[in-house]
Structure 1
Amino acid sequence: MTTHDKAAALAALYGSSTILRLVNVWDAVSARTVAALPETTAIATAGHSIAASHGFADGAMPFELVITSLAEIVAATELPVTADLDDGYADPGETVRRAIGVGAVGANVEDRLRPIDESVDRVRQIVAAARSEGVDFQLNARTDAIARGGDRPLEQSIADAIERGRAYLAEGAAAVFVPGILDREATERLVAGLGVGVLSVIGIPGALTAAEYEQLGVTRISYGPLPQRVALRALRDLASELYADGVIPSDTPALN
């Protein structure tokens, strides 16, 4: 598929009444492994996991390495790839142009609770840059209204998320990502405030299932750094078994 075809495919997935399930990847081999599953319709990168795989803290990886890593993942699959681009870096428009240049057709970009006018302007820059590239780029605009809400009441954080999310959608974002543990009531309030089919959530311990979120009108669920943590736990556990005179399981698939 061309970049335009991939962008159209990702747009259709966001527009579907079926929730888009994305198991986040961090390198070429994890991307190929997930992409090989028949249920996989798109690939999402996990910025935290990519940074960790290169020895950096989340958000601290050099930008050029971010783009290089993204290019390697895009090259590993024919599926649409949506990238975790942290906060968009110094110039969010240029960041998205670079991402499109290596084949990404969507992205998460977080607001980090900047003043709302500044956050809206950064979304505007992203959308304008994508349009200038002629790509129907699917921006999953992330608001940290809950994740960085601190001690303020949850009701206030939800109201902030709705205000910011509406503003991002008005500027052309495809969806609004509200990370945090969202129970049924919080999810219903966010969907009521933002609309059906635009809320994006993260599947972390304590969250609802993908099917439950789908019933509530959520458009997308992803899992952030959790898939890599599960993989690393498996590696750690295997290493412990091997140090204890264990053996490699005979049914180990040659996924690499």
Structure 2
Amino acid sequence: MKALIISDIHANIYALEAIWKAESDSEIVYCAGDLVDYGPFPREVLAWVRERRVVIVQGNHDRAVAKAYRSGEELWSIPNEELKWRHHNARLLSEEDASFLESLPLSVSFMMDGAAYSMQHMYIDYDTIVSLPQFETFWEQQTSGDVRDSANRRLIFGHTHRRCIHYLGDRDLWLNPGSISYRRKDDPTKTAHYMTITDGRIEMKSLSYDRSPLYKAVLGTRLSEPETETAIRFFS
């Protein structure tokens, strides 16, 4: 079985479609949250994941955009110099879109190729699990039944935008596919980061894609200057 593991899409439909073109033989797609915010195409991303029945957990930016949508008239009275990406995205959403973001679970567990998985957007803020006791405590909180009792345990996180695999034991690990849109400041690359898991084998991957439509869309928005700076840096 082949699974595509993605996270932190941030309203970037172009990276998403480029990855799918390369990995369309995947039988299932898992996303560790943050479908929207900090990008110009939230509705397109939401339509894409719904069409493909992607298994998704709710990210902090998903909650923020849904909350902005629910602010009603207040959302439309914000002056341009105070507009943030979450307001931009919320203004584009439909009621169906907002309800979809609100309905996303905080955690999902599943079995795949003899290994048990628990997926959630984050651990504690930007902290990571660095010890086996931390892993075991969190695993107990997040799982139940056959998943909890599996001898092969794997946690999937997003949020940090740092692609990694962290082994705490031969059969106890957590992984993060990174962001398909944004790197942290100490990583200047502009490729899309993601993972695939094929018959239990994890592969860390990156992909170059055409960012010019994103750059053009960002230049066409009217947002506060700090909100556009990061997007311009990555999509130029």
Q: TM-score, normalised by structure 2?
A: 0.39
* Higher normalized helix content (fraction of residues): 1
Structure scoring higher RCO (CA < 8 A, sep ≥ 6) equals 2
* TM-score (norm: length of structure 1): 0.37
More strand by share: 2
